[in-house]
């Protein structure tokens, strides 16, 4: 009997430990935000952390980050864009960085509401460049598709949203409510640490980026936000949006990493089938972290395409 009780206790601990660990993580509150480098906007979904960089006058570029790495992913790119004369706005998506962590599905409507409200708060109207990385590419695509008259151009770095095949864990957490939540809490921290550690020796325009990425795990709401996006916007297809952008004449530049295993460069072919006007470039030797591992090459591609008349 005692062995049965002990075994039952062990099973219960294994079941509840990942969920309890989430409850014990630090909140993203005023104390945590004391180190924030930017400012905050009170939007309908909560506080949003944002930063401006570059000259006070100049064309505006709005940068949208991806699934797990907050707005510091843009530090190197933003510096280069500022040197080109851009005034750069970057911000933390809900559930990441210093922004609030509202509950619920994170689909295109969720992310568009945050972006639209932030632009209104910051008085960004029309004729701006919209740059999206990974999941941020899907958000940028959705925004430009909904408001083609507002954007000068969109630039997509390893963009998500074009039907790539999910791995087994992603399929499981999407399809199994409850069980998927537990799997995410139990397994994802290990995968996140493993993936970021694999890039520690790579050059980066963001010093200590692996540590900064792993720091996200210390805060309550980060893992649920990743899961809400996997079930939401990353479970949507944006092919039709690119057809609309093509029909509306919105200039689009897509940049891929030749060694990207997260969003492989062969995705470019699927986009080209529906919107042949998109300019596409590949960076040799770059993986999925190209905004910070190959910053100079990204900036050179943007500059070169502008000289050719992208916008």
Q: CA torsion angle for 68, 71, 75, 78 (degrees, to 10)? A: 120
Model pLDDT, residue 9: 47
* Kind plus residue range of the DSSP H or E element containing 302: helix 295-307
Identify the bridge partners of residue 90 per DSSP, sorted by sequence position.
Answer: 51, 63
Let me know: does 243 contact 274? Beta carbons within 8 Å. Answer: yes
Nearest to 296 by CA among 176, 232, 204: 204
- Ranges of each domain in the chain: 2-307
User: What pLDDT, in 10s, does the model give residues 86-102?
Assistant: 999 999 999 999 999 99
Residue 58: which region, alpha, beta or left (left: phi > 0; alpha: psi -120 to 50)? left
Which segments in the chain show pLDDT lower than 70?
Answer: 1-19, 163-165, 274-275, 307-311
| CATH code, 2-307 | 3.40.50.1820
Model pLDDT, residue 163: 66
Going by C-beta distance under 8 Å and a sequence separation of 6 or more, which residues neighbour residue 178? Answer: none
Let me know: does 285 contact 260? Beta carbons within 8 Å. Answer: no
User: What pLDDT, in 10s, does the model give residues 119-156?
Assistant: 999 999 999 999 999 999 999 999 999 999 999 999 99
Model pLDDT, residue 10: 47
Residues in the chain: 311
Nearest to 237 by CA among 280, 277, 270, 259: 270
Instruction: Using the CB atoms, write b or e for 89-111: b if 16+ within 10 Å.
Output: bbbbbbbbbbbbbbeeebbbebb
Model pLDDT, residue 159: 95
Let me know: does 256 contact 281? Beta carbons within 8 Å. Answer: yes
Q: What is the CA radius of gyration of the chain?
A: 20
């Amino acid at each position: 009997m005692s062995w049965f009780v002990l075994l039952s206790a062990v099973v219960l601990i294994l079941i509840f430990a990942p969920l309890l660990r989430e409850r014990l993580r630090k909140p993203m509150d005023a104390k945590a935000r004391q180190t924030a480098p930017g400012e905050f906007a009170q939007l309908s979904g909560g506080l949003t952390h944002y930063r401006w960089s570059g000259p006070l006058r100049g064309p505006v570029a709005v940068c949208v980050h991806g699934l797990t790495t907050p707005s510091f992913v843009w530090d190197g790119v933003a510096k280069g864009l500022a040197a080109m004369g851009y005034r750069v706005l970057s911000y933390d998506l809900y559930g990441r960085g210093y922004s609030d962590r509202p509950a619920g599905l994170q689909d295109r409507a969720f992310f568009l509401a945050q972006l639209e409200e932030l632009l209104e708060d910051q008085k960004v109207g029309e004729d701006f460049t919209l740059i999206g990385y990974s999941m941020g590419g899907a958000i940028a695509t959705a925004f430009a598709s909904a408001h083609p008259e507002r954007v000068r151009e969109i630039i997509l770095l390893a963009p998500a949203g074009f039907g790539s095949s999910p791995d087994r864990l992603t399929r499981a957490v999407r399809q199994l409510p409850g069980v998927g939540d537990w799997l995410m809490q139990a397994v994802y921290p290990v995968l996140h640490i493993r993936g970021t550690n694999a890039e520690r020796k790579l050059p980066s325009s963001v010093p200590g980026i692996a540590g900064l990425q792993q720091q996200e795990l210390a805060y309550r709401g980060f893992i649920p936000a990743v899961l809400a996006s996997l079930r939401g916007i990353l479970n949507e297809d944006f092919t039709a949006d690119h057809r609309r952008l093509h029909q509306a004449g919105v200039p689009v530049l897509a940049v891929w990493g030749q060694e990207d295993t997260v969003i492989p460069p062969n995705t470019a072919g699927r986009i080209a089938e529906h919107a042949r006007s998109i300019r596409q470039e590949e960076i040799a030797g770059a993986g999925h972290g190209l905004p910070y591992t190959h910053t100079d090459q990204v900036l050179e591609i943007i500059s070169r395409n502008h000289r050719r008349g992208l916008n």
